[in-house]
């Protein structure tokens, strides 16, 4: 975006998400006191703050921030749910910087042949250019791809190494998203759901506030996360106590339910729902005071 005239002797522009100003004389030389390089003011001059041009540009900055968050959240939903995404759609949205920032460097898998790689570029017609775990450059021409949850990637370590070599940064956390694998042993799995119980918070409001800040919903006595996996919608929940009967609060056991609240045994929970539930429980546990060893509260 270029510089726009605003008032007498000033120009404004949107730089790194904020409105900045410079003298209309242009960028040559150092700025006056209080100005950065090229005469760009570190703060908007008071004479400009109420100018309609500045207000409109600030509104645009807010909209762009909201748009970027919306794009990232949509891509995050595709990834957590491993939903098929038409490559033609990716070709249409790729020129948008916000979409590109959310999509670039994510691992994609083509439908059908199962070609897998780190997304580096998308051509207008929807052809994807990727780099696989072995370093080969590939072109994916499938009708659709998935952005798999990392717990579903068998060669996760190799892809992480390849991304590091490429200097690839992901706008939506995928390769380095924390993952948990469900233990094969039923008794060990039953113990795992209590692994993050018992962390103490000063109040229910502190615990529920951490849950909402992390993006989870609070429903009564539990923090919850809805996960779509293989055509099913499961709800993972962690107990957080009762604000009306307890002065303090503790993280409780983790559980999953389906439909109208039918509780699921660990063996009925898929790998993505298991990993996301454990991720939520671990994040809530990390914000509290851990219990003494061996004294986990599993209320």
Longest dimension (CA), the chain: 75
Rounded Cα–Cα distance for residues 133 and 29 (Å): 48
CA atoms within 13 A on the CB side of 22: 19
> What is the structure's pLDDT at 41?
66
DSSP secondary structure code for residue 199 in this structure = -
Domain shared by 87 and 135, yes or no: yes
Domain that holds residue 234: 186-286
Are 150 and 210 found together in one domain?
A: no
- List, for residues 79-119, the tens digit of each pLDDT value: 999 899 999 999 999 999 999 999 999 999 999 888 999 99
Whole-number mean pLDDT of the chain?
Answer: 87
**pLDDT given at position 39:** 61
Q: What is the tens place of the pLDDT at every residue in 140-199?
A: 999 999 999 999 998 899 999 999 999 999 999 999 999 999 998 878 888 889 999 999
pTM, to two decimals: 0.80
| Banded pLDDT at 1 (limits 50, 70, 90) | low
3-state SS assignment for residue 39 = helix
Q: Compute the distance between CA of residue 26 and CA of residue 39 in angstroms, rounded to an integer.
A: 8
How many domains does the structure of the chain reveal? 3
The pLDDT assigned to 38 comes to 52
CATH code: domain of residue 207: 3.30.310
**215: in domain:** yes
Looking only at the bridges linking them, the beta strands covering 232-239 and 222-229 are antiparallel
40 and 78 assigned to the same domain:
no
* Assigned domain for 177 exists: no
pLDDT tens readout for residues 226-237? 999 988 999 999
């Amino acid at each position: 975006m270029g510089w726009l005239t605003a008032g007498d002797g000033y120009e404004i522009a949107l730089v790194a998400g904020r409105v900045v100003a410079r003298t209309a004389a242009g960028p040559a030389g150092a700025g006056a006191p209080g100005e950065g390089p090229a005469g760009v003011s570190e703060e908007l001059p008071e004479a400009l703050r109420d100018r309609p041009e500045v207000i409109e540009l600030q509104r645009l900055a807010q909209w762009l921030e909201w748009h970027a968050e919306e794009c990232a959240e949509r891509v995050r939903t595709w990834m957590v749910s491993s939903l098929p995404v038409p490559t033609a759609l990716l070709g249409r949205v790729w020129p948008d910087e916000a979409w590109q920032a959310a999509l670039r460097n994510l691992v994609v898998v083509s439908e059908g042949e199962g070609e897998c790689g780190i997304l580096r570029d998308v051509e207008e017609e929807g052809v994807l250019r990727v780099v696989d775990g072995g370093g080969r450059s590939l072109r994916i021409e499938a009708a659709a791809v998935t952005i798999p949850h990392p717990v579903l990637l068998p060669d996760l370590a190799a892809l992480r190494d390849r991304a590091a070599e490429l200097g690839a940064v992901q706008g939506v956390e995928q390769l380095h998203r924390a993952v948990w694998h469900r233990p094969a042993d039923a008794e060990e799995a039953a113990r795992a759901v209590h692994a993050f119980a018992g962390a103490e918070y000063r109040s229910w409001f502190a615990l529920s506030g951490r849950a909402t800040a992390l993006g989870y919903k609070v429903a009564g006595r539990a923090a919850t996360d809805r996960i779509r996996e293989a055509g099913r919608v499961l709800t993972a929940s962690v107990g957080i106590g009762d604000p009306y009967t307890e002065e303090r609060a503790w993280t409780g056991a983790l559980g999953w339910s389906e439909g109208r609240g039918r509780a699921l045994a660990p063996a009925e929970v898929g790998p993505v729902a298991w990993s996301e539930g454990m991720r939520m429980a671990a994040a809530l546990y990390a914000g509290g005071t851990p219990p003494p060893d061996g004294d986990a509260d599993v209320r």
